Amino acid sequence: MDINEQGFLLPAPLRIFDCSANEVISFKLIQSEKDLNNEENEFAPEFTHQIFGE
């Protein structure tokens, strides 16, 4: 077992899947169907611990 950057124990083979949620998640505000392909409505969260816990 290895300890990741956040201090959690991970089996060594799973370390390749360890990443920061702040870096890989984006949100998009959608009001109509045309907004689905509009990347200007997309933004990255500043914090994700409210969604995933710490």
Q: Mind listing the pLDDT tens digit for each residue in 1-54?
A: 777 777 778 788 888 888 888 888 999 999 999 999 999 999 998 888 887 776
Spatial contact of 54 and 22, defined as CB atoms under 8 Å apart: no
Confidence (pLDDT) at 18: 82
Domain housing 18: 2-52
CA distances from 1 to 12, 20, 44 (A): 6, 19, 31
Q: Total structural domains in the chain? A: 1
What's the pLDDT score for residue 31?
94
User: How many residues are present in the chain?
Assistant: 54
Amino acid code (one letter) for 37: N
Task: Give the pLDDT of residue 16.
Answer: 82
What pLDDT score was predicted for residue 14? 82
User: What confidence score (pLDDT) does residue 27 get?
Assistant: 92
**Element at 27 (helix H, strand E):** strand 27-28
